[in-house]
Structure 1
Amino acid sequence: MKMPRLVQSISATQATFLSSVFAPMSKQIAALKLFGTLLISSFFLVSVSMSVLTSTGVHAHQQKMAITTVYFNARTNNIEVMHRFDLHDAEHAVKEIFDGNADIIQSEKTQSDFANYVTQRFAIYSADKTELALTLVGTELEGKHFWVYQETPAPENLSGMYIQHNALRDIWHTQTNTINIEGMGDIKTLTFTDNTELLSVSFK
């Protein structure tokens, strides 16, 4: 059946009208879809970045380190030992080692107890494995660090030594203790990590 001319004309007009109305809307819908995709992608990237930064921050926070200097003092002929601990680590350590009320900042007893704990886990031996008798000299709270000092007379004709440093390594498996040996030629460095129990150094 043939459609009347008027109906054909109206249909064409309606089609043109509808096209003019919906064409911009389709562009807006496409733009909204693109914006939504970009928004989701941005959110995903931000989430991943925050996760990486958080993971890195936690890892950095968990890293435990202490530095000890073993210094051969030619003037006094003594071996001076200086242990430097991060105060934040020491604060947590005393609560783990002793009790939850231990306060290394305010309590002299806690400071003394921690110093004794350190000295019991640090030892120097001569080349023939004879232990040197270290004396606890004292402690010092300095800024963000807590120091423990020891000393012993330097043996004559010392050709080398063995050192043990297990302080804090018995409570944190991530603890790293670094020892710098000075006053016997070039500075020598020993690093205690993982299951390392005894390290040696020789002198020319």
Structure 2
Amino acid sequence: MHSIKITLCAALLFLSAAAHGHRFHAGITDISMNPRTGNTEIVHTYMAHDVEALLENLYQRQFDLGDEDDLALFRRYLEKQFQIKDAQGRDIPLTWVGLKTDAERVTVYQEIVKANLPESATILQATLTDFLADQINTININRNNTPRPQTLQFSRQQREHTLERH
């Protein structure tokens, strides 16, 4: 009898955890210079479930990021939510390189062609913060002249950071 109660409790815990889904919402962006190409590479990684839920909420239908039209909608969303501006407030052009998806992740590749990330710039990283109140986006900036990356955190309350020349 005791083992049945333990098994039942374990099953209920498992089902409640599965029904609740994941408990955190996070995105990671890595920005680094590729010395071989001279391009600044930007790699965003988000939880696939969160991206799917966002798009289904925005457009009230199922999404397939393998479909060109659906990809274009997500690309437009991301390009609005992630931007880099120079010290004068001008947009720094970001080139869309591509996107890779699997069951757990959506990875987006962008780059600044033939240029470093300016030392003085403003980064807007609001991806998913408009949809998920607890979304946290972390950016790691790897510069060639520093031993450790600069890490910035973004949330619904803090959607942009200004980088200052040191």
TM-score (norm 1): 0.64
The Cα of 1:135 is off from its aligned counterpart by 1.6
Matched, 1:192 2:164: no
- The within-5 A match list for 1:20-35 is none
CA RMSD for the aligned pairs?
A: 3.2
- The within-5 A match list for 1:79-94 is 79-94=40-55
- The within-5 A match list for 1:5-154 is 54=16, 58=20, 61-104=22-65, 106-153=66-113
In structure 2, relative to structure 1, the CA distance for the partners of 1:161 and 1:54 (3 Å cut) is same
**More moved, 154-163 vs 192-201:** 154-163
Q: Secondary structure at the match of 1:61?
A: coil
**More moved, 115-124 vs 128-137:** 128-137
| Structure 2 gap segments, 5+ residues each | none
In structure 2, relative to structure 1, the CA distance for the partners of 1:181 and 1:102 (3 Å cut) is same
The letter of the residue matching 1:150 is: Q
Contact 1:112 1:139 in 2 (8 A): no
In structure 2, relative to structure 1, the CA distance for the partners of 1:91 and 1:157 (3 Å cut) is closer
In structure 2, relative to structure 1, the CA distance for the partners of 1:76 and 1:119 (3 Å cut) is same
Give deviations 1:53-89, integer Å, cap 9, x for gaps: 958x84x724211111111222222211111111121
Contact 1:165 1:192 in 2 (8 A): yes
In structure 2, relative to structure 1, the CA distance for the partners of 1:100 and 1:174 (3 Å cut) is same
| Structure 1 gap segments, 5+ residues each | 1-38
Q: Secondary structure at the match of 1:195?
A: coil
The letter of the residue matching 2:79 is: T
Corresponding residue pairs, total: 158
- Paired with 1:176 and 1:124, the residues of 2 have a C-alpha distance of 18
Q: Which has the higher contact order (CA 8 A, sep 6+)?
A: 2
The letter of the residue matching 1:196 is: Q
The letter of the residue matching 1:98 is: Y
Q: Secondary structure at the match of 1:69?
A: strand
In structure 2, relative to structure 1, the CA distance for the partners of 1:102 and 1:189 (3 Å cut) is same
In structure 2, relative to structure 1, the CA distance for the partners of 1:54 and 1:143 (3 Å cut) is closer
TM-score (norm 2): 0.77
- Paired with 2:95 and 2:80, the residues of 1 have a C-alpha distance of 11
Quick check: which has more Rg, 1 or 2? 1
The Cα of 1:183 is off from its aligned counterpart by 3.1
Contact 2:28 2:44 in 1 (8 A): yes
Structure number with higher helix proportion: 1
The Cα of 1:143 is off from its aligned counterpart by 4.9
Structure number with higher strand proportion: 2
Deviation >4 Å, runs of 4+: 154-157
Q: Percent identity at matched positions?
A: 26
Give the equivalent residue in structure 1 for 2:129: 169
